[in-house]
Amino acid sequence: DTGVSQDPRHKITKRGQNVTFRCDPISEHNRLYWYRQTLGQGPEFLTYFQNEAQLEKSRLLSDRFSAERPKGSFSTLEIQRTEQGDSAMYLCASSLTDPGGVDFGPGTRLLVL
């Protein structure tokens, strides 16, 4: 068990470009979350998967954002037509059904120029 992994760790892109991030949860974890964190703030919930089903999307997740979790394993978060306001740390987390802890990955730092 190597924990939650995310790829890439850093991404610099130009405004208007599309970016995709990948998250590999802990293998036996059926829940997967995406969070966004801006400097000096706590993480904000974006979306949640139980197995392959996306059960909740935050209003923070505009139409430019899409997330998938095919086959209930890894997940991808895509941002289309990036804007400078999308610059943030994107955190993935996974957990088992209650009770228990929520394990976070190292995050992907996105900078949109």
Partner 1 sequence: AQKITQTQPGMFVQEKEAVTLDCTYDTSDPSYGLFWYKQPSSGEMIFLIYQGSYDQQNATEGRYSLNFQKARKSANLVISASQLGDSAMYFCAMRERYKLSFGAGTTVTVRA
Residues lying near partner 1 in the complex (CB under 8 A) are found at: 31, 33, 35, 40-45, 48, 50, 55-56, 89, 91, 93, 98-104, 106-107, 109
CB of 101 to partner 1, least distance (A): 5
Nearer Cβ to partner 1, position 70 or 99?
99
End-to-end CA distance of the chain: 36
* Residue 22 contacts residue 85 (beta carbons within 8 Å): no
Nearer Cβ to partner 1, position 80 or 106?
106
CB of 89 to partner 1, least distance (A): 6
Which residues share a beta bridge with 111? Answer: 12
Nearer Cβ to partner 1, position 84 or 97?
97
Q: How many whole angstroms separate alpha carbon 58 and alpha carbon 85?
A: 17
- Provide the 8-state DSSP code for 9: S
CB of 104 to partner 1, least distance (A): 4
* Ramachandran assignment for 9, one of left (phi > 0), alpha (psi -120 to 50 degrees), beta (any other): alpha
Tell how far CA 30 is from the center of its chain: 15
Nearer Cβ to partner 1, position 6 or 82?
6
CB of 55 to partner 1, least distance (A): 8
